[in-house]
């Protein structure tokens, strides 16, 4: 005879549970020291055009905020991150799932480390995950909730040899200087800076 507990445990997970599990799995992969761009791309949809946006929620430099559109662009983001930083840890404080929209919102803290100096800092973020019918990411939006210069794409190494502030960093660069195309589509070529 099945007990109430065994019946409950045999029930399929709810859509909310599946969404939260998918989001949690991606964040765990992000903090995995053996991760690479190919592994992280496996979490993204191949059926729809994907979007990744990582930027401060409030910024003095909105002209430098642009999404990465398409799998090639998303891979460029992960390659850029891996070139300069390592993820020390990802601590997730809360998850909220919206089954009807296939969306999850999380509040997390990411501890980053500069490869060049070993310096670390913490970026507090809200993450919005949107999934396709296969529970693959079609949109991943990261908004920095801590200070603007804690955003990994705005961070400046505070080691003695790299003491420039974020405002000096952007001020010393021309308005548009694309290093490589960050979209699969010619009409969506956005500037990003490689430190």
Band (170; pLDDT cuts 50, 70, 90): very low
Distance of CA 38 to the CA centre of its chain: 15
What residues does each domain of the chain span? Answer: 13-188
DSSP string, 140-191: EEEEE-S-GGGSTTT----STT----HHHHHHTS-S---SS--BSSGGG---
Q: Strands 137-144 and 51-56: what pairing?
A: parallel
What percentage of the chain reaches a pLDDT higher than 90?
A: 63
Contact 102, 130 (CB under 8 A): yes
Reported as a single tens digit per residue, the pLDDT across 6-23 is: 545 578 889 999 999 999
Residue 9 confidence (pLDDT) = 58
User: What pTM was estimated for this model as a whole?
Assistant: 0.75
Architecture of the structural domain at 13-188: Roll (3.10)
Q: How far apart are CA 152 and CA 123, in angstroms?
A: 7
Contact 52, 128 (CB under 8 A): no
């Amino acid at each position: 005879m099945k007990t109430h507990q065994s019946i409950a445990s045999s029930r399929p997970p709810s859509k909310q549970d599946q969404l939260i599990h998918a989001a949690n799995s991606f964040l765990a992969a992000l903090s995995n020291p053996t991760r690479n761009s190919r592994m992280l791309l496996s979490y993204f949809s191949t059926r729809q055009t994907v979007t990744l946006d990582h930027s401060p929620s409030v910024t003095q430099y909105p002209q430098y905020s642009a999404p990465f559109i398409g799998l090639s662009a998303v891979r460029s983001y992960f390659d850029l991150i891996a070139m300069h930083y390592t993820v020390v840890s990802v601590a997730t404080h809360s998850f909220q799932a919206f089954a009807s929209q296939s969306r999850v919102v999380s509040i997390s803290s990411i501890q980053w480390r500069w490869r060049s100096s070993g310096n670390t800092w913490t970026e507090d973020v809200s993450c919005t995950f949107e999934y396709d019918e296969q529970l693959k990411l079609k949109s991943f939006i990261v908004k920095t909730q801590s200070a603007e210069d804690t955003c990994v794409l705005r961070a400046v190494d505070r080691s003695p040899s790299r003491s420039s502030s974020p405002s000096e960093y952007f001020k010393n660069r021309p308005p548009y200087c694309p290093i490589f195309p960050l979209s699969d589509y010619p009409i969506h070529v956005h500037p990003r800076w490689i430190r």
